[in-house]
Amino acid sequence: METVNDEKPRVILTEHKVVENFPQGPTVYDDHFDAKYFKKKLQIVVIRRNNTDMEFDLIGIQHFLANTFRRLMLSEVPTMAIDKVHVLNNTSIIQDEVLAHRLGLIPLKADPRLFQSVADVNEAPTEKNTLEFELKVKCSHNREISKKESSRAEDIYKNSNVYSKQIKWVPIGSQRSRFNESDVGPIHQDILIAKMRPGHELDLKLFATKSNGKDHAKFSPVATAFYRLLPDIKIVKPVEGEAAFRLQKCFSQGVISVRKENDRQYAVVNESHARYDTGCRNVFRYDDLKDSVVMSKIQDHFIFTIESVGALPPDAIFREALSVLKAKCSALLTELNV
């Protein structure tokens, strides 16, 4: 088995399993934790970022810490979601409990940091912990259009489809002054909630509260948050000619390039693209190539991806996760009376 000897801690992807490779020098993986050394080694590089997605590198950190951030983002960063539905009237064919479930899954625009969690479920909602919405839709025949022109349900009927944009915010107390109309409501306008036919009617009161993903997946602020380890590919035996092109095909696009040098074609690793290799290990299909390459992953280099649902920007979600961790740590310390 090939080994790579440098200062980086890494795992090697062999044909049938992932093998750990022990580095020569000291790393963050060493037994003792030195805050100074950790601070010196830790590095964060943001690769791309917009309102919903973000990719950044977290370098020089232990896997358990990186995993903690991931786990906190998934299930402990709170958001607002519809949690209670008062059904005043529902004559559509969708059942009350299913309708309520669907409404709960609609992502809401509302900064959870400005709200408190509901302490007692049975207590009356207050402006501090609840957002109230209403959904009042009635389906009817569309008189403006004659039947001959179209037979599509959208044309012959009014409100045959109920969309998330029809959810209206009802401010409680001073909420009207505290929030802008545009800052509260469903994030996506075109989520189909129910289908109706003339005579069907929905009259619902919706109450959104603050909670986290542990309680119900609808409160999770992210679609997903995950990381992967930085791939590191090394060609250990020169690969030339036709084999070089074959090798190129075994990796993601741009990872391997074929260089020409006085009539000689040989494969080289394109360092800048190597991070996007999928780790598909298709080299092992070729007996002549499988010993020419060592595929490894750097153990303390995490490529994080956060896909926000939209209530919070991804960087804010990460920061929130940090503060949750901080709160947990201080809670532990108080418990220990240190």
Site string for other proteins, 75-104 (x = CB under 8 A): x-------------------xxxx--x---
Nearer to other proteins by Cβ, of 126 and 224: the residue is: 224
Report the alpha-carbon distance of residue 105 to residue 118 in Å, rounded.
19
Nearer to other proteins by Cβ, of 103 and 184: the residue is: 103
Both structure tokens of 270: 């394109």
Nearer to other proteins by Cβ, of 159 and 308: the residue is: 308
SS3 260: strand
Nearer to other proteins by Cβ, of 63 and 109: the residue is: 63
Neighbours of 186 (CB within 10 A): 23
Nearer to other proteins by Cβ, of 141 and 214: the residue is: 214
Contact region for other proteins (CB under 8 A) — 31-39, 50-58, 158-166, 279-287? 279-287
**Cβ distance 218 to 302 under 8 Å?**
no
**Cβ distance 27 to 8 under 8 Å?**
yes
Smallest distance, Å, CB 65 to other proteins?
A: 8
Both structure tokens of 29: 């993986």
Q: Report how many residues bind other proteins under the rule CB under 8 A.
A: 41
- Which residues 6+ apart lie within 8 Å of 124 measured at CB? none
Write the DSSP assignment of 34-83 as a string of letters.
-HHHHHHH-EEEEEEE-SSEEEEEEES--HHHHHHHHHHHHHTS-EEEEE
- Which residues 6+ apart lie within 8 Å of 165 measured at CB? 186, 189, 190
- Of 17, 36, 148, 260, the residue at the interface with other proteins (CB under 8 A) is 17
**Sign of the C-alpha dihedral computed for residues 31, 32, 35 and 36 taken in this order:** negative
- Of 4, 23, 42, 63, the residue at the interface with other proteins (CB under 8 A) is 63
Q: Scanning residues 209 to 238, which ones bind other proteins (CB under 8 A)?
A: 213-214, 217, 220, 224-229
Smallest distance, Å, CB 72 to other proteins?
A: 8
Orientation of helix 314-336 relative to helix 63-75, angle to 10°: 110
Smallest distance, Å, CB 179 to other proteins?
A: 30
- Of 285, 319, 326, 328, the residue at the interface with other proteins (CB under 8 A) is 285
Smallest distance, Å, CB 96 to other proteins?
A: 7
**Cβ distance 233 to 294 under 8 Å?**
yes
- Of 117, 126, 278, 323, the residue at the interface with other proteins (CB under 8 A) is 278
- Of 8, 200, 210, 297, the residue at the interface with other proteins (CB under 8 A) is 297
- Of 9, 21, 58, 70, the residue at the interface with other proteins (CB under 8 A) is 70
Report the alpha-carbon distance of residue 300 to residue 248 in Å, rounded.
27
Query: Interface residues with other proteins (CB under 8 A)?
Result: 11, 13, 16-19, 63-64, 66-68, 70-71, 74-75, 95-98, 101, 213-214, 217, 220, 224-229, 250, 252, 278-282, 285, 297, 305, 307
